Amino acid sequence: MPGYEVIGAEERQQIMEVLATGVLFRYEFADQRQGVYKVREFEQAFADYTGAAHAQAVTSGTAALKVALRALGVGPGDEVITQGFTFVATWEAILEVGAIPVFAEIDQTLTMDPDDLSRKITDKTACIVPVHMLGAAADIEKIVAIAGQAGIPVLEDSAQAAGCRIGGQHVGTFGACGTFSFDPVKTLTTGEGGMIITNDKGLWQDMSEYHDHGHDHAPNPGGRGGEGRRFIGDNYRMMELQGAIGLAQLAKLDDMVATQRAHKTRLKEALAALPGVSFRHQPDEAGDSATFLAFSLGEEKHRVRVAEVLRDQGAPAICFADNTWHFYPRWEHLLAGSTKAARGWPFAEPGGRRRVVYAPDALPKSVELMKRTLVYPIQLRMSEERLQQMEQAIGKAASL
């Protein structure tokens, strides 16, 4: 899964081109930088790769969500529907812009259940954020259709899904915009960093300005314009070194995805021997980025026994039902409304009245599914010996 496994001469060469200029900032210093604009080049290359008209680089996948939500006009008084199986950053960003996260169930895609989405829409719903979780696509065409009927924009959280497609169309291009993460364990990594893609030029312009304190960026990617700011912004600028690494990593992305797919196919064939096993539904298996392999058993008790054997045989799999970073019932700080704000924001109004209370048992369908599910991260450098060890471990589990 992680692109750090293949960092090499290409990344070093790109970095050296930046260091030769002495300019690490993505804007200005035209005379000194010798025409080198790595972040802007990375944005254009990523837009071309995904088939989007525009791309905006930022400091992280979390920042990408915040900038996109701001550009879409989301704020206090709004509700944003997302799913109960995602990384905490998805709902942290929603709370950060002042909106209230509303959590939908997941289905066999391990992503947003479109039927539950329909039930959760209200007149306060300002945005829908499906997450292409574990590198595979949500049922995004159905989600976008439901959102379109309600007149609500869709922001695709594609943090884990660079290289994932449906019918040849890259995820992140179905909704109003899509966000990506390039943190240390993503297939395409810049250490930290993120990207937003969109086909809406006006939305891109708003994101471009917001992520740099509201500077108008009229001559982007050169100077920062005439300082005719239209609104307040914040600072989520990607630096040139990250852009340089991103360019080198993007050139390797298709090869990384192909390697992941080969490893995943081999392990999936071994797992097919498990009694009662099923694999997550994907809208387009051929477009899978193959960063993870998820499989479910018929009963939780069977999943527990299988997990124990795999662990004892040195090939442990992840049960996200027990994971504290990615699953709604395990987010104790969200459920408790824990915050450092003295007056209780964002869970309470300044006067102390609670804005929202989250019930631990709010997503029973998701809990039942996740308790039966195990997941293998797919590495790039999996030796023949390691693959054989995992196959043997799976074989032991299949003989229970």
CA distances from 392 to 132, 297, 304, 307 (A): 31, 19, 18, 14
Residue 109 tokens read as: 């895609």
| CA separation for the pair 90, 66 (Å, rounded) | 9
Q: Which residues of 33-43 are buried (b: 16+ CB within 10 A; e: fewer)?
A: beebbbbbbbb
CA dist., res. 101 & res. 79, Å (int): 6
Residue among 296, 313, 315 nearest 304 (CA):
296
Return the ∠ at Cα 144 (arms to 148 and 365), rounded to 5°: 120
Contact 175/140 with Cβ under 8 angstroms?
yes
**H/E run at residue 296:** strand 292-296
Give residue for tokens 């409304």: 337
Q: Looking at the chain, how many residues does it have?
A: 400
Q: Provide the token pair at 377.
A: 């991260």
**Residue 393 phi, psi (nearest 5):** -60, -45
Query: Is the Cα torsion angle 26, 160, 144, 67 positive or negative in sign?
Result: negative
Residue 396: its H or E element: helix 384-398
Write the CB contacts of 5 (distance below 8 Å, at least 6 apart in sequence).
379, 380, 381
Tell me which of 38, 66, 186, 252 is the catalytic residue. 186
Are 46 and 40 contacting, i.e. CB atoms less than 8 angstroms apart?
no
- Whether 186 is catalytic is yes
- Which residues are part of the catalytic machinery? 186
